[in-house]
Structure 1
């Protein structure tokens, strides 16, 4: 031990551990506000009628003070600091909890700003690590500048990103080339062109007719009707609030920056090497306007949470084919959507797909495996060879009788692209090609897309636009 109190290794003092940092002092109030809202809702109108408005207000006030004090004690005992290549988080008073998150397992750090955080100028960070089933150790709350600085520092230490200037606010994509910004008008129209919105007027008309015929309406009937309507409209409304003012930009040459949300804004940084697949979806009611949406399967994101589809993330909430072509090229460098071709299964597969055979297809492009499916809602999946984790050939009992098999290409995200119902010899040839191209793609640096020699594409005879 040296005179200064530091341990000595090889004659040199070890570097000092950085002091533990606390969250923002307003964090207890913001966290307590959520609990207070739940408590007020739980007390219900019946309690208000029994005790009166004054006593009800005193009860709520006492509970609010208790919640804030409890949150403040938790805040005082919560801290974080970076030690070498670990983020260490300490929390708890009675039950102490210490977590060390290895930054080499860090996949992403998302910056979120719920409504109360936007009002108070704060933000929270959510960490995604390899193998995690949920967001790891959300840090709520920090100032926007501190949150953006910490995010860049953690990503730089993890090797996912190079340090950048964080002087720009987290409310906008940080410096970089803008690629896409959703038109909120189109976003609203797209959610009106959904089955929920189309069928809602018929449901309202039927309920109104029942009311007029019966001539009476109970409280339970009103409550159940309102609840049913809210449930029908919840998904389109959630999508509008979530994707409002969606922006996509490119930063540091190749990293994608996503910013979106109305009541809760989110900012994500997506390195291209984390994109496991890109999925194009054509909802039935959108086709008249030529619209589609794009989504990415991203490595490291947790499984779906209630009301949130986090297993994949949006790339384009709504847009046309030329925009989709540009964004696919940004997410999967070297891939041109207009040049991808697929071929359908053989005619004998019609026994398995009597109405939708022509909507199935698969193809081997230069850099990606292409898979399409869906009769009403059509979908095309693009899986880069370098991201494939396994290839499977699966045969069901009916397929065995028909001499068919399905080839699945699995990724780290758990989703699979599939070549449905191919002749057995062709299925094994496709599987061999996928495995071979996956090995080549992982061992070689990225190269510009080139046409695939015809000798390798003998199974794909009928090219079709995706």
Structure 2
């Protein structure tokens, strides 16, 4: 049999302005690395010379990198070639592709350019960032890659000469910027900031030893405190959710705009948070846990894991219906549908104040767990996304005959039934394992089962094994 000949298109280069844009991005890093202390030691003139020298070196390296970087699609692979002395070629199989994110930093918006960031299954970080290309080329390449990966619903396949037609989108919700600003003002960092400013002003006015460098360093430290709420405002500005043929479309950003498609079948769970200062307005925020997305930097590093930056209960009902299976006989799913079961009273030794808040619920399709006293949190995981079930018992838990059950997912998020009675914990583990197997097998009929402990949902189908003897 003759091997199939794969047509190879010519390599394409990034936009010629790429070295300048990367140099502008590096300018902020260079100034931050030199710090206020360096400015005080060498003076403003030498400080500017150092910055210009480092910036010029960065631009020269960027030009060399741009001249030796190219990309093209070969069959069902995206290949990226780079390097001058040590040449490297990266081949990314498109069947592993999860999402192609279009990112536009401020300088890119001013020049009409964009950056493509690829998320693949099992990637520890974002793969093959293509920075920068023109906006039409970015959109066309994004749709083409998603089509080749089998995740776009365009009627006409995308080609280099005929880009794919943008799929139809149905708007779901748009977060108002007013609510976003108010929500970030209702944070501990924003509330205590006036006291910090007053302290600095008093010290600067009455302490003669305070210099400009000391004041600048203090202001920098205060800016670090406000980094989290300010970053959320910048990332979630004009946040919009829509439903497309390839999944959920999330857009937002002020200085750096982002557009990303989340395949619904890759969603492992939904996290819901009720901050203490938001409860009077009955607000909450929701985040996604998606398999295959880079999460090495922690929760805050995932700029677009947010499903709903801020919203009320009716909004959460509409959004939840787009990503989670709806219980049989219902037209929607609300957070009040979960009948949470609390741990036994002897678990108050671990949670003296938060015991009434902690709970777990099992519905026909979903397991939900809640925790937290000041900041209340809930994790919702469909049974079909449960990868493993663990029963963990510490030394004090063994003495009180308690155990914690974890329902783990591929995205790293776990629904946890904390400090349950030992016999109930083993029942929960067996029941969660059974329901996850049945959900993955997509069984249409569920035989009648024995009655579970009070408050844990519908009857089950099998009798779980007896708890093992204590050791």
What TM-score do you get using the length of structure 1 for normalisation? 0.86
Contact 2:235–2:303 (Cα < 8 Å) also in 1: no
Q: Which secondary structure state, in structure 2, belongs to the residue aligned with residue 343 of structure 1?
A: coil
| Alignment-derived partner of residue 238 in structure 1 | 231
How far the C-alpha of 1:47 sits from its partner, in A, is: 5.1
Question: Any conservation in 1 of the 2:9–2:72 contact (CA below 8 Å)?
Answer: yes
User: Do 2:390 and 2:406's aligned partners in 1 also have CA atoms closer than 8 Å?
Assistant: yes
CA contact (8 A) 1:259 1:266 kept: yes
Cα offsets for 1:200-256 (capped at 9, x unmatched)? 11222333444455455333431232122111111111110010000000112x711
Partner Cα distance (1:65, 1:229) in 2: 31
For 1:257, which of 238, 249, 252 is the aligned residue?
249
Cα distance between partner residues in 2 of 1:300 and 1:266: 19
Task: Tell me which residue corresponds to 1:391.
Answer: 389
- Distance of 2:230 and 2:54 partners within structure 1: 32
Structure 1 residue matching 2:305: 3-state secondary structure: strand
Aligned 8 A contact 1:364 1:457 in 2: no
1:278 correspondence with 2:270: yes
Is 1:77 aligned to 2:68, yes or no?
Answer: yes
**SS of alignment partner, residue 231 of structure 2:** helix
1:35-114 matches, cutoff 5 A: 35-39=26-30, 45=39, 49=44, 56=49, 66-114=57-105
Structure 1 residue 23: deviation in Å?
A: 1.6
CA deviation vs aligned residue, 1:20-69 (integer Å, no higher than 9, x gap): 2222222222122223454566676465645698xx4xx86676555434
1:289 maps onto 2:287 in alignment: no
Shift of 1:161: 3.0
How many residues align? The count is: 439
* Partner SS for 1:231: helix
Alpha-carbon distance, 1:370 to partner: 0.6
Q: Is residue 115 of structure 1 aligned with residue 113 of structure 2?
A: no
Output one character per residue of 1:86-122: Cα deviation in whole Å (capped at 9) or x when no partner. Answer: 1111001111111111122222211111111111111
Contact 1:297/1:312 (CA < 8 Å) preserved in 2? no
The separation in 2 between residues aligned to 1:282 and 1:65, in whole angstroms, is 48
Task: Provide the TM-score with structure 2 as the length reference.
Answer: 0.86
Runs of 5+ consecutive residues of structure 1 not aligned to the other structure: 1-8, 167-172
Q: How far, CA to CA, are the matches of 1:74 and 1:291 in structure 2?
A: 47
Report if aligned partners of 1:133, 1:302 keep a CA contact under 8 Å in 2: yes
Q: 1:220 to 1:364 in 2, by over 3 A?
A: same
2:420 aligned partner:
422
Which whole-Å CA distance do the structure 1 matches of 2:389 and 2:318 have between them? 29
Determine if the alignment matches structure 1 residue 267 to structure 2 residue 265.
no
Give the drift of 1:268. Answer: 0.7
The match for 1:187 among 158, 180, 186 is: 180
Q: Contact 1:248–1:259 at 8 Å: present in 2 too?
A: yes
Alignment of 1:206-355 (within 5 A): 206-214=199-207, 216-252=209-245, 255-305=247-297, 308-310=300-302, 313-334=305-326, 336-337=333-334, 338-355=336-353
Q: Residue in 2 aligned with 1:378? A: 376
